[in-house]
Amino acid sequence: MESLTYTGEGSIELREADPPALQGDGEALVRPVAVATCDLDAAIVGGATPFPPPIALGHECVAEVLETGDAAGPLEPGTLVSVPFQISCGACHACRRGHTASCRGVPPFSMYGFGAAGSDWGGFLSDVVRVPFADHMLVPLPAGLDPAAVASASDNIADAWRTVGPPLEREPGAAVLVMGGAGPGSIGVYAAAIAVALGAERVVYVDGDARRREIAAGFGAEALDRSGDRPGKFPITVDASADPEQLVLAIRSTEPDGICTSTGIYFGEQPALPVLEMYMKNTTFVTGRVHARPAIPHVLALAADGKVHPERVTTKVVAWDDAAAALAEPDWVKLVFRR
């Protein structure tokens, strides 16, 4: 089979790979039918991450079930499923608590689309992918959903949901601030869209990119250019900027007893945080990798109910065979590759 592979800074090529086979009764083989770029993919392809090549690319997808083992649950061949980018068993202590990114049943950081750094599980821009713990891992798509619209549920939309979904459940109607802009910048826009859909009384989206501000405004957010000033005080704030200055602004814009969640990945020198101010205000600061698997059903339900339209964030839907050329072009917020 063929697998689109990052081979070095700015270099992507189709490589022949051995097709996977079932290695246990609880596994499934799936065929990706819609694969989305993650905000981190641009950095991976540009050689700006510590993840070494070769990397079989792709870690957000909707796939078609091809084959299942006898203990893989009720999924029938042909079922469309969202495949979380992190491997998790669903049965260990961490998974039972919903902490699937920290699954104890697999090597740490086991993921699709990260090469050796993710324990070499392959990538979704491949003809066939092996999925362990299939009954737990695979999430069937609600009827009527376009796979291309929710391909990013595997990671970026789930990451956005966790920044605003649980906080708004605890404090319904609370105002939300989102600092956007990390990489291609989809996560912040998704967060703004979800906050609006979940009934936040006010959603402010701050970003230096006019195109992303326009998308966020289309979802009903107040879209502001970056100014360096605090945009107000909010009980719920989100740093999806990967910019130390914007991170500090998000923290300082968090009301006393509020929560600030950062999805940004800060490679290299780490930002200095206003810890004393956070202490005095009883700020809850959350950072870390999303626990994608338990978030995916929430994302799919919002899309199925017509409350969130993630396809509005997609820059372009690209034919499968044109994926390499499209990835080489830097001007996108979200690409979806479709068979």
- Please give the Cα distance from 12 to 307 (Å, whole number): 37
- Give per-residue pLDDT as tens, 192-239: 999 999 999 999 999 999 999 999 999 999 999 999 899 999 999 999
Q: Which CATH superfamily is domain 2-155+290-338 in?
A: Medium-chain alcohol dehydrogenases, catalytic domain (3.90.180.10)
Q: What was the pLDDT predicted at 72? A: 87
CA dihedral 47, 52, 57, 61 (to 10 degrees): -100
- Give per-residue pLDDT as tens, 246-266: 999 999 999 999 999 999 999
Specify the domain boundaries for CATH 3.40.50.720 within the chain: 159-287
CATH number for the 159-287 domain, one of 3.40.50.300, 1.20.58.760, 3.40.50.720, 3.40.50.10330? 3.40.50.720
Contact 182, 210 (CB under 8 A): no
- Give per-residue pLDDT as tens, 151-190: 999 999 999 999 999 999 999 999 999 999 999 999 999 9
Q: What was the pLDDT predicted at 330? A: 78
Q: Which residue spans within the chain are E strands per DSSP?
A: 2-8, 11-16, 28-36, 55-56, 61-68, 80-83, 129-131, 139-140, 176-179, 203-206, 222-224, 234-239, 254-262, 284-287, 316-319, 335-338
Confidence of residue 10 (pLDDT cuts 50, 70, 90): confident
Specify the domain boundaries for CATH 3.90.180.10 within the chain: 2-155+290-338
- Give per-residue pLDDT as tens, 96-155: 999 999 999 999 999 999 999 999 999 999 999 999 999 999 999 999 999 999 999 999
Helix, strand, coil fractions of the chain, as percent rounded to 5: 30, 25, 45
pLDDT > 90? residue 73: no
**What mean pLDDT, rounded, does the chain reach?**
96
Contact 159, 100 (CB under 8 A): no
pLDDT > 90? residue 318: yes
**H helices of the chain, where?**
41-45, 93-96, 134-137, 156-170, 186-197, 210-218, 244-252, 275-281, 292-304, 323-328
- Please give the Cα distance from 155 to 161 (Å, whole number): 10
